[in-house]
Amino acid sequence: MSLGIIKDRFALSLTAGFTLVAAWAWADAVQSLFSGPCGEPGAGPLCHMQSYGRFIYAICITLFSLLVTYLMSRVSKQVEFQRAQERQLEWQKALGELQKAQTI
């Protein structure tokens, strides 16, 4: 297995993992709108900050996953560009050998 394929699979797995974490963060944040200690008797004065903390976490993890996805897409494009260059060199080498064989 080539290094390029490994990098592609790693990028895909990393992107999927961060997407899943972001989804969990948003699910938790939305759930905090409908439940939590703020509606219960005896809730502390900071109960509203606890629910905002979940949204801040969801926003941060989403931004981080977008950044990782962007960086992984750039790496993937670079790998694909390198593969294309390698294929082009192989074709040029094969063409050169074919031309040599025809001149002999």
Average pLDDT of the residues of the chain: 79
Predicted structure pTM score = 0.53
The answer to whether the CB of 53 falls within 8 A of the CB of 36 is: no
Exposure of 102 by Cβ count < 10 A (0-12 exposed, 13-18 middle, 19+ buried)? exposed
pLDDT of 48 strictly over 80: no
User: How high is the pLDDT of residue 33?
Assistant: 60
Contact 42, 49 (CB under 8 A): no
CB atoms within 10 A of CB 11: 19
Percent of residues, the chain, with pLDDT higher than 70: 75
| Tokens, residue 101 | 């064989």
Hey, where are the domains in the chain? 3-103
